[in-house]
Amino acid sequence: MTMTMSTERPADLHAWAAELGAVLAANARRHDEDGTWVQESFEHLRDHGYLALGVPTELGGMGATISEVAAVQRELARHCGSTALALSMHQHVTAFTAWRYRRGLPGAEATLRRIVDDRIVLISTGGADFTHPRGTATKVDGGYRVSGRKIFASQSPAGAVMSTMFPYDDPERGMRVLNMAVPFADPGVTVHDTWDAMGMRGTASNDVTIEDVFVPDERILADRPHGVVDPPLQVIATIGFSVINAVYLGVADGAVSCALAAVAGRADDPIVQRQVGLMLNRQRIAAWALDGALALVGDDPQPSMETLAAVMAAKREISIAGIEICDLAMELAGGSAYFKGSSIERAYRDIRGAKFHPFTPEATLVHAGRLALGVPCDVL
């Protein structure tokens, strides 16, 4: 059934995101405490056309660039990290689908039109699968039979289509990775209520079991070498982590704002002055790292290991700086920030999720070193 939804592009995306963020903030504490899906915030965003943010205008979307999507995500994360992170998975898959659409690749236009017309939500399992996906794929007439258990399927209660990967042992070419679209409505797909983490507790990043699901050949979006960060995956990761990086920086932004409000009456304290200066210094440099990476990514990135390394360098900086920022925010705010329910305490936990997305901070350094030294760095 086709639904209606407002997808007119706001005149000021940042102001629009800030207005949406007020509703997210009102729901954030309860869902964090309960560890439940941020349903009301998600519905609010969907009703305001947020799912179509990165869909090209000629297909009915808002036509936001990768940098613009990242900026909106950063603002939303100030108010609720869980909502922003969960929806970033839809946004980066949408952005990559738009990239495919610009190249006339099969299925891209139809998917983008469904985002606008049917308000479908795209789910990604790529972060957990990446170069070594879980599960099995077996070739059958007209397509493949796939089975496996996927983890970290954020926003799973709202998902319509899963963008996922399976290994396939090709008798002639050896082990391959198949990127494919799997509908959540298939009877072989089961979402398990498994998400109970320290932070990002409202993302509903549940496990999903896929049991003997048939995927026709036309839903195979890529056939890639196993264990290799090949050119298509370079583009996917470049786009994806540009958006995800912005979420974690937004979490740190929110902690900074709360900390500054908490010390408003202690501005004459030299220790407060120093800690505020250090916190803002780390925030500024992390923002520069994100902006620099986004400038290299551009609006229509090409496969590039150098660009991917820049995005991962920004991710590492945001991960490390973000944790330090939230630690400083808690010190500045004092004991009140140590209690459950504090926005700073939530940010303190949420920010730590940044290190668990690929590449990890240490893997980022190894990758950068290999790239600079001319050592093969496409196998991870």
Residues 173 and 192 in one domain: yes
Nearest Cα residue to 124 out of 165, 67, 71, 168: 165
Going by C-beta distance under 8 Å and a sequence separation of 6 or more, which residues neighbour residue 171? none
Is there a domain that residue 263 lies in? yes
pLDDT at 6: 60
CATH number at residue 170: 2.40.110.10
Residues 249 and 369 in one domain: yes
User: How does pLDDT run across 8-46, given as a tens digit for each residue?
Assistant: 899 999 999 999 999 999 999 999 999 999 999 999 999
Last residue of a domain, one of 88, 120, 152: 120
What does 164-193 look like in DSSP terms, one character per residue?
EEEEEEETTTEEEEEEEEEETTSTTEEEE-
Is there a domain that residue 240 lies in? yes
Tokens of 262: 């908490």
* C-alpha distance across the termini of the chain, in Å: 43
User: How does pLDDT run across 96-141, given as a tens digit for each residue?
Assistant: 999 999 999 999 999 999 999 999 999 998 778 989 999 999 999 9
Residues 356 and 272 in one domain: yes
One-letter amino acid at 237 equals A
Residues 45 and 63 in one domain: yes
Going by C-beta distance under 8 Å and a sequence separation of 6 or more, which residues neighbour residue 16? 10, 48, 72
Element at 242 (helix H, strand E): helix 231-262
Supply angle C-alpha 6, 158, 64, rounded to 5: 40
Is there a domain that residue 202 lies in? yes
Share of the chain above pLDDT 70, in %: 98
Region 256-265: mean pLDDT is 98
Q: Which residue has the tokens 């036309």?
A: 218
Region 367-378: mean pLDDT is 95
343-350 and 81-102 helices cross at what angle (nearest 10)?
A: 50
Residues 84 and 152 in one domain: no
Residues 304 and 360 in one domain: yes
Is there a domain that residue 3 lies in? no
Is there a domain that residue 5 lies in? no
User: How does pLDDT run across 343-367, given as a tens digit for each residue?
Assistant: 999 999 999 999 999 999 999 999 9
What is the rounded CA–CA span in Å between residue 305 and residue 359? Answer: 13
Residues 219 and 246 in one domain: no
CATH number at residue 24: 1.10.540.10
Residues 357 and 255 in one domain: yes
SS3 at position 170: strand
Residues 250 and 213 in one domain: no
The domain in which residue 210 lies consists of 126-225
Q: How far is CA 146 from CA 26, 184, 302, 362, in A?
A: 41, 14, 30, 33
Last residue of a domain, one of 174, 190, 225: 225
One-letter amino acid at 145 equals R
CATH number at residue 256: 1.20.140.10
Look at the chain and report how many structural domains it folds into. 3
Is there a domain that residue 174 lies in? yes
Is there a domain that residue 146 lies in? yes
Last residue of a domain, one of 95, 120, 145: 120
Is there a domain that residue 378 lies in? no
Nearest Cα residue to 80 out of 143, 20, 121, 146: 20
Q: Beta partners for 210?
A: 148, 189
User: How does pLDDT run across 136-188, given as a tens digit for each residue?
Assistant: 999 999 999 999 999 999 999 999 999 999 999 999 999 999 999 999 999 99
One-letter amino acid at 221 equals L
Instruction: Provide the whole-model pTM.
Output: 0.96
Residues 356 and 240 in one domain: yes
Residues 64 and 149 in one domain: no
Q: Beta partners for 124?
A: 163
What is the rounded CA–CA span in Å between residue 122 and residue 160? Answer: 6
Residues 22 and 111 in one domain: yes
